[in-house]
Structure 1
Amino acid sequence: MSASITELLGNDADYLLNHQSQTIPQDRLHVPGANYLERVVCGSDRNQRVINSLSRIFGHGRLAGTGYVSILPVDQGIEHSAGASFAPNPDYFDPEGIVRLAIEGGCNAVASTIGVLGAVSRKFAHRIPFLVKINHNELLSYPNSYDQVMFTSVDRAYDLGAVAIGATIYFGSEESRRQIVEVAAAFERAHELGMATVLWCYLRNPAFKKDQDYHTSADLTGQANHLGVTLQADIIKQKLPTNNGGYNAVQFGKTSTLVYDRLTTDHPIDLCRYQVANCYMGRAGLINSGGASSGASDLAEAVKTAVINKRAGGTGLISGRKAFQRPVAEGIELLNRIQDVYLDETITVA
């Protein structure tokens, strides 16, 4: 194992690297691997063009052929404002800087807005898989309603050469049922055209904040994942779980005591494994988000998240702000360190 990985994990190294899950056995999961598409996806109803698109994603970058993915997502110019996102490194106001970072960082794909990817599509769409995010929550409307609205069409994403589309649903919000209908139709159209689908399965509801913030509880995010794969997302993006017991705290909906007594523990790998289980036991890949940039600790946090995701049975990491809100060389190094976790064969599924 790379000494740098254990050094970055620090006091958590033994806790994370030697944990053996006693919840859902790893042999019950459809774990990533070199033959993941043939073993899992080819038995589904996805047409050959979708499989070809997934093959482009899984076959690109430093993780090509491993069954794992490292994706650079940069839609924060809409979600958080361009100033908040790109002021730390103004070069990324230019879409070319975003795509070049993904290429030079060895990523499987670059995910961004129709504007960003459309601005440079003829120059780069053949060099790295494009994932067009088709809906967004813009933060200029006041007061903000935390709604996701369509910014483009599936056909437009297809025309510029994208191999996949991405969308967000704010499960639990007042607007979620409309978003479900919109995204279901978009994903169906994307599959017809041969594009893969990625769903950001996020939670939004003030009632999910009680004694803790249960927007990232394993049980509630797990259910969001389960709704996402029901919509036929090929890949699920989810925040890493930070707690559990959201159903019990909110006192709404239905669950089982077995979720807490048998299928999960307090260990972060076991909590993430419950997210994987809700992705049809890994038939749809789970990628966890890298989270906000917090400065000097970004590299250690990114590596820790990657270790948890991989050992839980996940498919990779989708990390943006930690990479692009710093000098280019440092951003590339961070992406490569994340990828090193997935390339390290001594880091196994727990």
Structure 2
Amino acid sequence: MDELGLNTGKKVRLRRVLYGHGLRNGTAFFLPYDQGLEHGPRDFFANPVAGDPRYVVKLAIEGGFNGIVLQIGLAEKFYWDYAGEVPLVLKLNGKTEIPSDAEALSPLHGSVAEAVRLGADAVGYTLYVGTPAQERDFAQYRRVRADAQRLGMPLIVWAYPRGSAVEAKGGRDSFYAVDYAARTAAELGADVVKVNFPHPEKTDGVPATYAREFTSRQAIDAVVRSAGRTLLLVSGGGKTSDEAMLNKARESMAAGATGLIFGRNVWQREHDESLRFVAALREILAEHPGPG
């Protein structure tokens, strides 16, 4: 914590999240619930009860998560029932999936000041790396970063490679794209960066340095190094077998990731099955405590 360059407000909030909730051992385990905007209500078809924000916030408490990620509308209307029981990460931007990702930009719809008013312990920002709109994205992000610094609010960046140029160079979850995204977030001043697990086998069009054969462990090791002193969260990603997801979690934590952020892979399941899966992830986190 002392090496992260945090001001007092950020340090207090981040320490509260990492050591006051979850396993309280310096690891992070977040439950994101911003998919209703990002993907539409279809994400709730697999488990209709998950369309009720109260159900998911209660699931975050029952599962012992370090925080729940909400868009501002849901935070305003539902979080106050459980305020203080699980930390809030207020997502400040977002977009629908309806337009093409060719020039992806996630517009702001919330502010750091609103996050403070709502009692949040961190804010989230989606940064699309590699799109033609990145100049506007960087300018929008700069304002958020300045407000987060001024108000002492930890800034978590969803670093997502997007756009036709990314798709022509291995794709959005290639080792090249994920590694570049992690480094970009670190260089732009994120306190925490969220990435998808890298796929080193996706090499079509990537630079020669990434076209060699890498294991998945070598790839995630490199991504953690690229993040440097920016804490790194690894996403659950698309639905695969439980064992495949647990293996990704094990490799991520062994590589030095700070934690995991699993959303649909948790709340699209029936309640008891969700908690069993969460318990398996918590066992992995318990094996890799963070520094004091």
Q: Provide TM-score, normalisation by structure 1.
A: 0.77
Deviation at 1:128, TM superposition (A): 1.0
In structure 2, what is the Cα distance between the partners aligned to 1:269 and 1:155?
39
CA separation in 2, counterparts of 1:49 and 1:118? 23
How far apart are residue 143 of structure 1 and its match?
9.3
Q: Which amino acid aligns with 2:227?
A: C
In the comparison of the two structures, how many residue pairs are matched? 290
Larger Rg, first or second structure (1 or 2):
1
1:59: which partner in 2?
Answer: 19
Q: Which residue of 2 aligns with 1:172?
A: 130
Q: CA offset at residue 191 of structure 1?
A: 2.2
In 2: Cα distance, 1:335 partner to 1:221 partner: 25
- Aligned counterpart for 2:144 among listed residues 186, 189, 207: 186
8 Å contact kept, 1:214–1:243: no
Give 1:149's aligned residue.
107
Tell me which of 213, 232, 246 is aligned to 2:189. 232
Q: 2:50 aligns with which of 78, 92, 115?
A: 92
Shift of 1:331: 1.2
- Are residues 145 and 175 of structure 1, via their aligned partners in 2, closer, same or farther at CA, if it must alter by over 3 Å? closer
Code of the residue aligned with 2:180 in structure 1: it is Q
- Give the drift of 1:73: 0.6
- In structure 2, the partner of 1:266 is 214
Offset from partner CA, 1:260-280 (integer Å, 9 cap, x none): 77xxx6111110111111112
User: Residues 3-60 of structure 1, C-alpha deviation per residue, up to 9 Å, x if partnerless?
Assistant: xxxxxxxxxxxxxxxxxxxxxxxxxxxxxxxxxx24x23xx1x211110110111024
Aligned CA distance change for structure 1 residues 342 and 183 (closer, same or farther; 3 Å): same
Distance 1:245 1:324 in 2: 29
- 1:243 pairs, out of 171, 180, 200, with 200
What displacement does 1:72 show?
0.4
CA distance in 2, matches of 1:140, 1:220: 23
Q: For 1:216, what is the secondary structure of its paired residue?
A: coil
Q: Does 1:138 align with 2:96?
A: yes
**1:127 partner SS:** coil
2: CA distance, partners of 1:301 / 1:275: 19
**Partner residue of 2:234?**
288
The change in CA–CA distance for 1:76 and 1:144 in structure 2 (over 3 A counts) is farther
RMSD: 2.4
- Equivalent position SS for 2:272: helix
Name the counterpart of 1:341.
284
Taking a change above 3 Å as real, the CA distance of residues 189 and 88 of structure 1, as seen in their structure-2 partners, is same
Secondary structure of 2:194's match? strand
- Residue 275 of structure 1 corresponds to 223
Q: How does 1:27-42 map to 2 (within 5 A)?
A: 37-38=1-2, 40-41=3-4
- Alpha-carbon distance in 2 for matches of 1:146, 1:125: 33
8 Å CA contact 1:208–1:250 kept in 2: the answer is no
Letter in 2 for 1:273: D
Query: Shift of the alpha carbon at 1:91?
Result: 1.9
State the shift of 1:63 in Å: 2.0
CA distance in 1, matches of 2:193, 2:66: 15
In 1: Cα distance, 2:243 partner to 2:20 partner: 25
Structure 1: which 5+ runs fail to align? 1-36
Query: C-alpha displacement at 1:157, in angstroms?
Result: 1.6
Give the distance between the partners of 1:340 and 1:145, measured in 2 at CA: 40
- Give the unaligned 5+ runs of structure 2: none
Q: Distance in 1 between matches of 2:164 and 2:101?
A: 15
Structure 2 Cα separation of the partners of residues 123 and 174 of structure 1: 41
What is the CA–CA distance in structure 1 between the aligned matches of 2:152 and 2:132, rounded to whole Å? 32
- Shift of residue 141, structure 1, vs aligned partner: 5.0
CA–CA distance in 2 between the matches of 1:143 and 1:55?
Answer: 36
Q: 2:30 aligns with which of 68, 71, 81?
A: 71
Per-residue CA deviation, residues 155-190 of structure 1 (Å, 9 max, x unaligned), is 112111111100111111111221111112102201
Mark the CA change 1:140 to 1:217 in structure 2 (over 3 Å): closer, same or farther.
closer
Give the whole-Å Cα distance in 1 for the aligned partners of 2:236 and 2:95: 19
Q: 1:207 to 1:163 in 2, by over 3 A?
A: same
Amino acid at match of 1:89: N
Structure 2 length as normaliser, TM-score? 0.91
